[in-house]
Structure 1
Amino acid sequence: MPQNARALIAYGPYEACYLVDHRKSRLQGLETVLFKDGHSVEFEEIEDWNMVEIWVNGECVFKCDIRELDYGGDGELDPLCKKALEAVQSAF
C-alpha cells in the first residue's frame, strides 16, 4: 500500500455506564497509530453494536470488537492497533 492511504474507520455504538452510544474514546490509539504512519483517517458511525471496521480503497481490511481496544492512549502498546496498522499497510 502506498503511503498516505485514506483509512475509513467505521464504528458502532457500545455500552458504557449503562448508556449505549457512539464513542470515539476507544479509537484514539487507532487513529494515532495510523496518523503517525502517514495515513489520513476519517470516521463514520454505523449501526452494528460493538464493531470497528477499517476500510481502505473500498475494501474492509480489519474488524474487531470496539470493547477490546484500549481506552485512550496512543495505541503503541495495544496489540490490536498494531494488527490494524499492518492490515492498512498491506491493503491494495
Structure 2
Amino acid sequence: MRGNAQVTVCYGPYESCGLVKHRTFRLEGLQALLKEHGHQFILEETAEWNKVELVVHGESVYTCDIRQLEFGGDGKLDPRCKEAVSAVDDAY
C-alpha cells in the first residue's frame, strides 16, 4: 500500500530531563519518512508511557519504544523509522 495510507501515530509520554510528558521531537524522522512515501498521518496522544504505535485502517501495524527513535533528523538513517514505514507500506 505504498503512497496512500491514512496512518494514526499514537504516542505516549516519556521522561526527559526529569519531566514526563508527551513530546514529538523523536517523531520528526518518522513523520518525514511517512510524508516522503506519500502517506498522511495524524498524531494522537495516548496514556501509555514510552510507546509509539502506528495504526492503519484500525489495525496496529507497528509498535516500538519511542525512546528507540532518533531525536530529530529526517529518519533516513534511523532503522526504527525504516521498519515503521515499511510496515505501513506493507499494510494490506
TM-score class, shorter: over 0.9
| Long gaps (5+) in structure 2 | none
Structure 2 counterparts to residues 1-92 of structure 1, below 5 A: 1-92=1-92
Name the SS for the 1:86 alignment partner: helix
| Superposition misfits of 4+ residues, deviation over 4 angstroms | none
- Quick one: distance in 2 between partners of 1:60 and 1:74? 23
Question: Aligned residues, how many?
Answer: 92
When normalised by structure 2's length, the TM-score is 0.97
Deviation string, structure 1 residues 57-90 (Cα, Å, up to 9, x no partner):
1000000000000000000000000000110001
- Quick one: distance in 1 between partners of 2:84 and 2:75? 11
Name the SS for the 1:52 alignment partner: strand
Deviation string, structure 1 residues 5-59 (Cα, Å, up to 9, x no partner):
1011000000000000000000000000000000001100000000000000100
- Quick one: distance in 1 between partners of 2:2 and 2:21? 34
When normalised by structure 1's length, the TM-score is 0.97
